[in-house]
Structure 1
Amino acid sequence: MSEHKQDAKRSNTVKSSRIPIGHNEDVEFSEDLADQEDWEALERSERADRRQQQRF
């Protein structure tokens, strides 16, 4: 792998590690476009949020 490609790969890794992770992310959910898996994921997310809130 060339030095340029290695630098680019390292740069992408550093950038991705700085992405904020949390429950306040702005994500649009469309009920019209949601399928069964989307609804199940929404339920799991809500349960996880409740568990996390109970820890505090």
Structure 2
Amino acid sequence: MKMLYEAKAEDVEFSAAEADLEDVEAQARALEADKRQLHEIMKKE
């Protein structure tokens, strides 16, 4: 039973790490999109 709990804890840790990585990637994409939008705005003025 202890092994089951340890495996479950590892799954939770892995899922959390994967979600964190996806958040970081999403933030990077959002930052790039913001830069492109700012560039377009500056080009129009």
> Which one has the bigger helix percentage?
2
Q: Which has the higher contact order (CA 8 A, sep 6+)?
A: 1
Please identify the structure whose Cα radius of gyration is greater.
2
TM-score (norm 2): 0.48
